[in-house]
Chain A
């Protein structure tokens, strides 16, 4: 967790990156699912499942710190992928409405659902985190002015999120599978005619999206929050879904948006930590949500003329025409 740096500018960037990291993971995950044509509104629920499983694992497992954190993140990814599998089965195989199924997933796994159930069954409420990610000193360069803390003094999971973004860019635009994925999202009929298994692509990317949302949830319990509270993601999953729209379904723009919204989330904390309390906390708490609405309006005004990047088959179940 970032301490109060002497330079306010750098400390704002550092907290923005910290709070933006869950959005990077969950946003890239949702982006992959949507590129295959599956809208998954269950991100908030999947993140909370990831968060609770990571916390539970970090409480129960013994061993070296790095191994516990690794297992905790993997447990989060697995649990959230199972949640995504439910959505995939209901919408891809059983062809149910993706919007309603996604909402069902958020209710099922979310703040009044399974994540809270697991937390209460294991008495996690209010318990302090035992193992947390700490900032590394990469190549011993953390004291280099400005870029030192930003580039070389982050935690392992932040570096992992950068790798995920890089991998997503390469995957989408530089690999054959990525090309096939985009065609499944644009025109499943054409993809099917080319011999691409549409259902398999959709399952795989919905599950990958779930796993990444789970990793995003793990960032909350293993780095941001110091103890467990039901619903601690507080709408981050929904902001991640909105980010996919602002970034026009492009991973490189998504990470920029994620850090911007990380800043909106954490800016109030930065000021309050410096004793600036004249503006009520509720204003700062509401800021990221208000800015999400503003950003959605801005891109919808701009994209009415030209639909920038929305996968054409997004939200539509694919049913092969009978010959």
Chain B
């Protein structure tokens, strides 16, 4: 019988080896799926690598894809860490984009740096207010935040669509000839475009620099502040936290607001760094909020690891855009993200438990030995094919 025995302490190397092994496993599983549907996995993997790293300009493009994922990944990581399941990063990012584009359009006369600052502030506020709705419902009525945050994603998407497609709102372009045929948003003035840092031929978006600073700040906050300490206590045991006099309700409220603020900042970066216009379809199709959950889960909710995992998923997302077509269906990105997440999630048991194969109690030795032997035979069979 195969059984899992809890480990008393986890050897350090396992924390590295198990995630690496699960990434390899994910690549194999995804490869089998590609083969089964008539695609060549090696070609696909080579294409992903070329389009996201080695081709000219590809690396800069990966940084572009990575930036929003780092924001939504950090947003999810902060909340999930305290078992506050904010899956509303998607909608909070939309609202951040709505807020930041409003500020950028309305205050178009301001000098660049000030305008960028105002955009950041409005994006943060809009995202955190939107997240505070489910935050307050959870804090005061213990309403399930998984469902409320998710429902509000759909509501936020409808708000954006209304502003651009179904109203004469401030965000909508009503003057240009093309806008009379196809509804579209107003473009921001060039002063509202966030700057880029050129570094040896690689363009680094301003938003990415902000996100890196934020990751470091959040890591410091969790490690070194009272808030971070209380957060960790509540994450480990809500009962202990309450006993120690930590105000759970206030923690839930502020953590949801922080998480929403980070996602909202991602929305502001999306407007300032990349699109320069409120584009509901583009934002909805990108699904940054949902991919952010994968980023956070792969990073095990650690803000510093989010930097690595968002880069990794940025590669995949960027390659998905670049390769779109019959050889690389759109759905492949999500499929591979899902496989990766399942493998990493499932493999975690090997860090927490030791696998022991032993004989069942009170059963004669011979029949008990049969199943493992049969399985070993089946395994070698499988390899032989």
B147–A116 touching, CB < 8 Å:
no
Task: Tell me whether chain B's interface is mostly helix, strand or loop, or mixed.
Answer: helix
For B37, list chain A residues within 8 Å (CB): 117-118, 121
For B334, list chain A residues within 8 Å (CB): 107-108, 110-114, 116-117
For B151, list chain A residues within 8 Å (CB): 235, 238, 242, 289-290, 292-293
Residues 142-177 of A contacting B (Cβ, < 8 Å): none
B294–A107 touching, CB < 8 Å:
yes
For B341, list chain A residues within 8 Å (CB): 100, 104, 107-108
Task: Give B49-71 as 1s and 0s: 1 = Cβ < 8 Å from A's Cβ atoms.
Answer: 00000000000000000000000
Which of B231-239, B258-266, B345-353 is the contact stretch? B345-353
A300–B87 touching, CB < 8 Å:
no
Task: Give A280-294 as 1s and 0s: 1 = Cβ < 8 Å from B's Cβ atoms.
Answer: 111101100110110
Q: Which of B141, B150, B331 has the most CB of A within 10 A?
A: B331
Which of A11-19, A55-63, A69-77, A86-94 is the contact stretch? A86-94
B154–A235 touching, CB < 8 Å:
yes
Given contacts A112-B287, A114-B331, contact A280 B167 (CB under 8 A): yes
**Cβ distance A244 to chain B, nearest Cβ, rounded Å:** 10
A120–B331 touching, CB < 8 Å:
yes
Given contacts A41-B146, A90-B346, contact A103 B141 (CB under 8 A): no
A113–B338 touching, CB < 8 Å:
yes
A114–B142 touching, CB < 8 Å:
no
For B141, list chain A residues within 8 Å (CB): 297, 300-301, 304
Q: How far is the CA of A304 from the CA of B144 in the complex (A)?
A: 12
Task: Give A106-137 as 1s and 0s: 1 = Cβ < 8 Å from B's Cβ atoms.
Answer: 01111111111111110000000000000000
Residue A296 at the chain B interface, CB threshold 8 Å: yes
Query: Could you say which of B4, B144, B159, B338 contacts A300, with CB atoms under 8 Å apart?
Result: B144
Task: Give B138-176 as 1s and 0s: 1 = Cβ < 8 Å from A's Cβ atoms.
Answer: 000111101110111011001101100111000000000
Task: Tell me whether chain A's interface is mostly helix, strand or loop, or mixed.
Answer: helix
Which size class do B's interface residues fall under?
35 or more
Residue B229 at the chain A interface, CB threshold 8 Å: no
For B154, list chain A residues within 8 Å (CB): 234-235, 285-286, 289
Query: Could you say which of B134, B158, B331, B337 contacts A116, with CB atoms under 8 Å apart?
Result: B331
Q: How far is the CA of A86 from the CA of B155 in the complex (A)?
A: 30
A112–B294 touching, CB < 8 Å:
no
The 3 closest A-B pairs by CB, nearest first: A108-B338, A117-B331, A116-B331
For B161, list chain A residues within 8 Å (CB): 282, 285
Residues 277-335 of B contacting A (Cβ, < 8 Å): 287, 290-291, 293-294, 297, 326, 329-335
Q: Which of B4, B150, B345 has the most CB of A within 10 A?
A: B150
Residue B210 at the chain A interface, CB threshold 8 Å: no
For B159, list chain A residues within 8 Å (CB): 282, 286
Given contacts A104-B341, A121-B37, contact A300 B143 (CB under 8 A): yes
For B290, list chain A residues within 8 Å (CB): 107, 112
Query: Could you say which of B142, B167, B293, B331 contacts A112, with CB atoms under 8 Å apart?
Result: B331
Residue B130 at the chain A interface, CB threshold 8 Å: no
Residue B342 at the chain A interface, CB threshold 8 Å: yes
B329–A293 touching, CB < 8 Å:
no
Residues 204-247 of A contacting B (Cβ, < 8 Å): 230, 234-235, 238, 241-242, 245
CB-based nearest A residue for B330: A116
Query: Could you say which of B158, B294, B329, B337 contacts A286, with CB atoms under 8 Å apart?
Result: B158
B293–A103 touching, CB < 8 Å:
yes
B142–A300 touching, CB < 8 Å:
yes
B294–A99 touching, CB < 8 Å:
no
**Cβ distance A112 to chain B, nearest Cβ, rounded Å:** 4
For A116, list chain B residues within 8 Å (CB): 329-331, 334
**Cβ distance A43 to chain B, nearest Cβ, rounded Å:** 11
**Cβ distance A312 to chain B, nearest Cβ, rounded Å:** 16
Residue A51 at the chain B interface, CB threshold 8 Å: no
**Cβ distance A156 to chain B, nearest Cβ, rounded Å:** 30
For B332, list chain A residues within 8 Å (CB): 117
**Cβ distance B77 to chain A, nearest Cβ, rounded Å:** 12
Residue B368 at the chain A interface, CB threshold 8 Å: no
**Cβ distance B333 to chain A, nearest Cβ, rounded Å:** 6
Q: How far is the CA of A196 from the CA of B148 in the complex (A)?
A: 35
Query: Could you say which of B38, B85, B155, B335 contacts A108, with CB atoms under 8 Å apart?
Result: B335
For A301, list chain B residues within 8 Å (CB): 141
A104–B297 touching, CB < 8 Å:
yes
What would 15 A/B residue contacts be, using CB atoms closer than 8 Å?
A96-B346, A101-B342, A103-B297, A108-B337, A109-B338, A114-B335, A116-B330, A118-B37, A120-B331, A242-B151, A245-B144, A289-B154, A293-B148, A293-B151, A296-B137
Residue B339 at the chain A interface, CB threshold 8 Å: yes
Q: How far is the CA of A286 from the CA of B291 in the complex (A)?
A: 23
Query: Could you say which of B38, B166, B348 contacts A280, with CB atoms under 8 Å apart?
Result: B166
For B337, list chain A residues within 8 Å (CB): 107-108, 113
B87–A242 touching, CB < 8 Å:
no
A99–B330 touching, CB < 8 Å:
no
B338–A107 touching, CB < 8 Å:
yes
For A283, list chain B residues within 8 Å (CB): 158, 162
CB-based nearest B residue for A301: B141
For B291, list chain A residues within 8 Å (CB): 107
Residue A200 at the chain B interface, CB threshold 8 Å: no
For A110, list chain B residues within 8 Å (CB): 334
A104–B342 touching, CB < 8 Å:
yes
For A281, list chain B residues within 8 Å (CB): 166
Residues 239-285 of B contacting A (Cβ, < 8 Å): none
For A90, list chain B residues within 8 Å (CB): 342, 345-346
Beyond the given pairs A96-B345, A112-B331, 11 more chain A to chain B contacts, judged by CB atoms under 8 angstroms and listed by A's residue number, are A96-B346, A103-B293, A104-B342, A108-B335, A112-B330, A114-B331, A117-B332, A121-B38, A285-B158, A296-B144, A304-B141
